């Protein structure tokens, strides 16, 4: 069985040619609408949970990786406040699906995977910012804390630690993240060089080292340039020459698909920007890049 398919509360898809999607697949425990009835939610604040709370900026994939243990092989960041205000929403679960995690509006999400971990349930964790910041889900609180943080068990060996952002994962994986946040373990620096070549602000950001036949690492983002134009930017570290040849070939006849290419090489970094109008957004989404 594929490692990701064994994770009971996550669906993890990491592949070149599609957007990485990591999301909670459980059912909501009540009928509150996260997007339409947030003012009607009657639930206790996260401040009512005893112990330490997570306090860390989560505005980019770089912020999420700063909280990630060493060894992660792929990660994704999504700013749903921007995604759901553009046609990029077609790449992500709808707001109702996302609300099933906490029964409130999920505004941002960071997901990280370590494919070197043999136990499937310990290979993934997620961070979420939510609105409003309340505890509107069923849980069982741990009797003891870990470094001052209490776990809220959600079943299936997965738990939350509350804060801004919320932390979700197996207890084993949560402990490794808390170690990083608490300063007791080193954060991941595997993608520092590649991410130093990127610019902030993209609605969807992905980084991975899982496709060695394509490149040592790649970074991919989707961004709305304006209300009618969208861009997919991919940065490759040590891109395979055969892949570069394929990309140049795609660029030559891209106008027939409503796409505009810009390919640039700078040392061991190859940057490929593909733009499209809203009417050709699906062509942009499915344009090969490996």
**What is the fold of 194-286?**
Gyrase A; domain 2 (3.30.1360)
Round to whole Å and give the CA distance between 219 and 201. 14
Indicate the DSSP class of residue 282: H
Supply φ then ψ for residue 100, to 5 degrees.
-65, -20
pTM over 0.75: yes
Omega within 30 of 0 (cis) for the link into 278? no
Six token digits for residue 109 = 């999400």
Residue 45 near residue 133 (C-beta atoms within 8 A):
yes
Query: What tens-digit pLDDT sequence spans the chain (290 residues)?
Result: 333 332 222 323 322 222 233 333 333 333 333 444 555 778 999 999 999 999 999 999 999 999 999 999 999 999 999 999 999 998 888 888 888 899 999 999 999 999 999 888 899 999 999 999 999 999 999 999 999 999 999 998 899 999 999 999 999 999 999 999 999 999 999 999 999 999 999 999 999 999 999 999 999 999 999 878 999 999 999 999 999 999 999 999 999 999 999 999 999 999 999 999 999 999 999 999 88
Residue 230 near residue 224 (C-beta atoms within 8 A):
yes
**Residue ranges per domain, the chain?**
4-181, 194-286
Closest alpha carbon to 90 in 225, 204, 255: 204
44 exposure class (CB count in 10 Å sphere: 0-12, 13-18, 19+): exposed
């Amino acid at each position: 069985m594929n490692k990701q398919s064994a994770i009971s509360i996550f669906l993890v898809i990491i592949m070149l040619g599609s957007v990485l999607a990591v999301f909670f697949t459980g059912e909501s425990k009540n009928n509150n609408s996260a997007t339409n009835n947030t003012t009607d939610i009657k639930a206790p604040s996260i401040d009512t949970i005893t112990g330490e709370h997570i306090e860390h900026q989560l505005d980019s994939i770089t912020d999420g990786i700063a909280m990630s243990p060493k060894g992660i092989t792929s990660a994704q960041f999504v700013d749903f406040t921007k995604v759901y205000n553009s046609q990029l929403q077609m790449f992500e679960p709808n707001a109702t699906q996302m609300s099933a995690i906490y029964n409130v509006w999920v505004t941002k999400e960071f997901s990280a995977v370590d494919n070197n971990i043999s136990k499937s349930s310990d290979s993934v964790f997620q961070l979420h910012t939510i609105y409003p910041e309340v505890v509107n889900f069923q849980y069982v609180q741990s009797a003891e804390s870990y470094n001052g943080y209490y776990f809220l068990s959600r079943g299936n060996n997965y738990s939350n630690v509350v804060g801004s952002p919320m932390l979700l994962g197996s207890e084993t994986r949560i402990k490794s993240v808390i170690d990083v946040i608490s300063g007791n373990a080193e954060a991941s620096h595997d993608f520092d060089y590649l991410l130093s070549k990127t610019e902030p602000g993209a609605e969807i950001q992905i980084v991975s080292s899982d496709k060695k036949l394509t490149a040592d690492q790649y970074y991919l983002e989707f961004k709305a340039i304006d209300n009618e134009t969208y861009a997919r930017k991919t940065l490759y570290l040590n891109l395979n020459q055969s892949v570069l040849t394929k990309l140049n070939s795609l660029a030559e006849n891209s106008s027939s698909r409503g796409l505009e290419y810009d390919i640039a090489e700078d040392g061991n970094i190859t940057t490929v920007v593909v733009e499209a109008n809203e009417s050709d957004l699906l062509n942009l989404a499915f344009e090969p890049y490996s």
